[in-house]
Amino acid sequence: MIGIDALGYAFPRHYLPLSALARARGAAPEKFERGLGCVRMAVPHPAEDTVTLAAAAAREALATGKVSPADIGLLIVGTETAVDHAKPVASYVQGLLNLPADCRVFEIKHACYGGTAGILTACEWIASGANRGRKALVIAADIARYPLGSPGEPTQGAGAAALVIAADPRIAEVDFLHTGRHSRDVHDFWRPLSESDARVDGAFSLACYMEGVRESYARYLATGGEAEAACDALLFHMPFARMAEKAHAELLAAARGPLEAESISQDFERRVAPGTAIARAVGNTYSASLWCGLAGLLHAGDLPRDTRVGCYSYGSGFCAEFFTLRMLTPEIMLPSVDALAVRQEIDVATYEAWRGLRMQNDGWDLPSDLPFAFVGRVDEVRRYRAAEPLSS
């Protein structure tokens, strides 16, 4: 059996209420809060970036799972908001966490699908035997960013999920042998190399996402996967929390044909809503979004052993995949998720100022309580301040 042996997360410590953003942009707060399902937007301090979020999530996974860094033989970071065109975020994380030199280390990109690609690749690495008894650490980390005032702005967010993938896992089995994939070369959402903000064809991106739901589920069934009705919970990639509602309705229509609105809604509340809490509180975490859904589900209540969870991953460009997890234990500590309740609220002026500072070398007051902080660039070399490194 192969799957998730330890889990960790990291989120910015500040948030902007979407009601405040709506007022500043002249939009109806109900559009953001109900229409998109976005209530709070996680806003990274300029000293937080993809590297610091990835390192903090990985540190939580290793610490709460009591996994020795020396056991990690594969380190993959899935991200679409890397900090360098050549040096991978994974190398920074290796240094900050003191991970062993005898480790394959790389970054993987396929928009919001990159983390899932890394996790399924890690499962196959372990199944092949090439791991020789060692574990993989896969991190999905991103900071979502659209132009100010654009339709995508209220869906922004930031966060990281870290998963230790191993044989005889403690948290969940990943059924990587029954997965359905659907991919196509399209321009639904993309970010040119010279730009910081994503470009998006909004309606087309939604259509591609839905096509992925139908086609990946059909291919999953063709591999011998059990029908969605056998799943106790369903997790979807959430570019905004309300997308889970639309994706669930699309999946049910593809699987069962037309249903009464009331029965779709009851099924949504039972199987999908518990996994949407973090997306509502944080916003889009791109590659980490599906895996933040898992944290939301775990936080919502005990998941008895053998709970089956259907997962839909989507990365623009695009690649979609449907597969399942089987939960093995409900007892998981996630301090980072508890900490979401005690974040600090900021106003629109601070959010906009931090967004500007992010593009500069430095010029911000360094928070003392961050486990890892970006302290600025010297000769275009990024410098970080690390908390105590983990011992091997």
Q: How many residues bind ligand CAA (CB under 6 A)?
A: 24
Q: Considering only residues 189, 236, 351, 372, which one is a binding residue for ligand CAA as defined by CB under 6 A? A: 189
Check binding of 112 to ligand CAA (CB under 6 A): yes
The nearest distance, CB 115 to ligand CAA, in angstroms, is 12
Residues 260 and 193: their CA atoms lie apart, in Å, by 46
Q: Which of 112, 208, 231, 319 is catalytic?
A: 112
Token representation of residue 36: 């998109």
List Cβ neighbours of 317 (8 Å cut-off, separation of 6 or more): 110, 111, 185, 186, 188, 189, 190
Q: Determine which residue in the list 30, 124, 269, 338 makes contact with ligand CAA, applying CB under 6 A.
A: 30
Residue tagged active-site, from 38, 237, 248, 321: 237
Task: Answer yes or no whether residue 31 interacts with ligand CAA by CB under 6 A.
Answer: yes
Classified as helix, coil or strand, 365 is coil
d(CA 243, CA 266): 17
| Helices then strands, each counted (H, E), the chain | 12, 16
Build a one-symbol-per-residue string for 218-237: x at contacts with ligand CAA by CB under 6 A, - elsewhere.
-------------------x
Residue type, 193: L
| Residue nearer to ligand CAA on the CB measure, 9 or 92 | 9
In 3D space, the residue among 259, 261, 267, 260 whose CA is nearest the CA of residue 231 turns out to be: 267
Instruction: Check residue 184 for interaction with ligand CAA (CB under 6 A).
Output: no
Smallest gap, in angstroms, from Cβ of residue 61 to ligand CAA?
Answer: 23
Cα–Cα nearest to 197, from 320, 39, 358: 358
Residue 248 binds to ligand CAA (criterion: CB under 6 A)? no
Least Å distance between CB 311 and ligand CAA?
Answer: 14
Among 125, 209, 291, 354, binds ligand CAA (CB under 6 A): 209
User: Which residue of the set 33, 48, 60, 80 is catalytic?
Assistant: 80
Q: Residue 315 CB, nearest distance to ligand CAA (Å)? A: 7
Q: What is the DSSP letter of 390?
A: P
Task: Name the residue with the smallest CB distance to ligand CAA.
Answer: 35
User: Which one of 4, 16, 36, 282 is in contact with ligand CAA (CB under 6 A)?
Assistant: 36
Residue 179 touches ligand CAA, criterion: CB under 6 A: no
- For ligand CAA, the binding residue among 10, 58, 200, 294 (CB under 6 A) is 200
Pick from 80, 50, 26: which is nearest to 160 by CA?
A: 50
Residues 6+ apart with CB under 8 A from 95: none
CA dist 180 to 64, 188, 301, Å? 32, 21, 28
Residues 6+ apart with CB under 8 A from 13: 45, 339, 343, 344, 367, 369, 370
Q: Is 112 a known active-site residue?
A: yes
Active site residue 80: yes
By CB under 6 A, is residue 285 in contact with ligand CAA? no
What whole-number distance in Å separates Cα of residue 367 and Cα of residue 253?
A: 49
Are 385 and 375 contacting, i.e. CB atoms less than 8 angstroms apart?
yes
CA distance 178 to 379: 48
Residues 293-352 that bind ligand CAA (CB under 6 A): 314, 316
**247 belongs to the binding site for ligand CAA (CB under 6 A):** no
CB closer to ligand CAA out of 151 and 367: 151
Residue 291 in the binding site for ligand CAA (CB under 6 A) = no
Radius of gyration of the chain measured on its C-alpha atoms: 20
Biggest CA-to-CA distance, the chain: 62
Q: Report the residue number, 9 or 314, with the smaller CB distance to ligand CAA.
A: 314
Tokens for 154, please give them. Answer: 């209220």
Q: Is 9 in the site for ligand CAA (CB under 6 A)?
A: no
CB of 239 to ligand CAA, least distance (A): 3
Among residues 28, 227, 339, 378, which is the contact residue for ligand CAA, using CB under 6 A?
28
Q: Cis peptide before 204, with omega less than 30 degrees from 0?
A: no
Chain contacts with ligand CAA (rule: CB under 6 A)? 28, 30-31, 34-36, 112, 151-152, 155, 188-189, 200, 202, 205-206, 209, 237, 239-240, 284, 286, 314, 316
Which residues form the catalytic set?
80, 112, 237
